[in-house]
C-alpha cells in the first residue's frame, strides 16, 4: 500500500458508545475494534493504534480490542495511560 492509499484509509471504529446529546469529549465513553480469529497481524496493529488514538485524541474513556474465535475471545484493554492489558480468557 502506497503513502496515498494509507492516508485515505478509514479510521472508523467497529463500535462506539457515547452520549449523543453531549457536546464535550467527556461524553465519549467506549470505542471497540473487533476481528475474527485468526486476525492478520498488520490489521491488529492498525486497530490497536486506532484505539490508542481514540483515547489520546478524542478522549474516549475506554477502548477495547477483541478477537473472536469459536473457543474463547482474546481481549485487549487500552488503559488510562494507553497501555495495553491483555485479559486472559476463562479456563
Does residue 90 register a pLDDT over 80? no
Please tell me the pTM assigned to this model.
0.76
> Between 81 and 70, whose confidence is greater?
70
Helices (H), 1-91: 3-8, 41-58
Angle at 85 between CA 80 and CA 90, to 5 degrees: 130
Q: Take residue 38 and report the three cell numbers written for it.
A: 485468526
**Confidence (pLDDT) at 1:** 47
Span 52-61, average pLDDT? 89
Q: Among 16, 9, 74, which residue's Cα sits nearest to residue 46?
A: 9
Q: How confident is the model at residue 81 (pLDDT cuts 50, 70, 90)?
A: low
Average pLDDT of the segment spanning 57-80: 86
Amino acid at each position: 500500500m502506497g503513502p496515498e492509499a494509507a492516508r485515505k484509509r478509514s479510521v472508523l471504529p467497529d463500535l462506539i458508545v457515547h452520549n449523543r446529546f453531549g457536546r464535550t469529549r467527556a461524553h465519549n465513553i467506549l470505542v471497540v475494534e473487533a476481528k475474527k480469529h485468526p486476525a492478520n497481524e498488520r490489521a491488529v496493529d492498525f486497530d490497536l493504534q486506532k484505539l490508542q488514538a481514540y483515547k489520546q485524541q478524542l478522549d474516549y474513556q475506554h477502548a477495547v480490542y477483541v478477537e473472536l474465535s469459536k473457543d474463547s475471545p482474546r481481549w485487549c484493554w487500552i488503559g488510562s495511560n494507553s497501555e495495553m492489558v491483555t485479559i486472559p480468557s476463562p479456563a
